Amino acid sequence: MKKKSDRYINPLSGEFIDVDENQRIIIITNEQDKFLKKKKELELNLKILNDELGGFIFILFKYCDNLLLDHKELSQEDIVRLFYLATFANKEFYFIRNNKFMKRSNINNILQISRTNFDIFFNKMINLKIFIQNTNDKHIKINSNFFTSGKISDEIKKYYNYTRLYVKTIRYLFENVDKNKHRYLGRYFKLIPFIHRQKNILCWNPESKIDDMSMMHISDIQGILNFDGRTVRKFIKELLSIRLMNGESIIGLFRTEIDESESYIIINPKVFYGGNFDLPEGMNSILKWFY
């Protein structure tokens, strides 16, 4: 028996559309259509960046807190090593390399630090429960209270903020920046809780709407990182000298005042980004500072 169908007319083309009883027509307004198209474009742009940079892992934190505030015993170099290793975590948070589980000796090999320094670092991670080692197979995982992947759960959203660490970028920085400069990277990483989710500018209210953003000056980060004026200038100079694989800087500066300390700081979203580029110029609103 032929299924019952209704006939509708497309007002734009004039053609008839037959719809049977198992189908339905959804009417979308012009505003809804614009919204859906924009959402699709934003998702596509973000996917392009994610694919270009080898995917990402989320780091969890709280806005306007010093990163890893509860673990002051972590050195700047510890933080850089931790971020690097986080990029090797799989969906179950185990450290994987070349499709094989990493054990303690494997981690030591990729960090390329002395045995003594590695033992201090690794034991610290275990004692702080940032790393968890299985007693049976010796496989090691990273605590999902610090890093996670996949869809962000409502539970995480309730207690934490989060941003993406891009795999290729973090690995490139660890492997190509001189080890003597890793302390600068560690302090750079600690600025994550002050990065505006959409604009990627350091500010006092990172969750605010763009028009309400209260941007930080270079002089403001002295207090956050416990620097004096001379030290913060050296810090910024060192960050400007650090380049990504495509030659871009990891930070950009802009200012409207003569005083250099009144400059504002924008973070390259190819290192960290927690937004979706819902900006007037899309991705280019941020990336234009690094061309």
pLDDT digits (tens, 9 = 90+) for 161-209: 999 999 999 999 999 999 999 999 999 999 999 999 999 999 999 999 9
Helix (H, G, I), strand (E, B) or coil at 98: coil
87 burial level (CB within 10 Å; 0-12, 13-18, 19+): buried
Q: Tokens for 6, please give them.
A: 């209704």
pLDDT at 259: 82
pLDDT at 86: 97
- CB contact set of 146 (below 8 Å; sequence gap of 6+): 59, 60, 68, 86, 130
Residue 36, amino acid = L
Residue 259 CA to residue 248 CA, distance in Å, equals 25
Say whether pTM exceeds 0.85.
Answer: yes
Residue 160 CA to residue 16 CA, distance in Å, equals 52
pLDDT at 7 over 90: no
H helices present in the chain, as ranges: 30-52, 76-86, 104-111, 115-127, 154-159, 167-176, 182-189, 221-225, 229-241, 284-287
Cα dihedral sign for 115, 118, 124, 129? negative
Residue 26, amino acid = I
Percent of the residues in the chain that have a pLDDT greater than 90, as a whole number? 69
pLDDT at 1: 45
Higher pLDDT, 23 or 169: 169
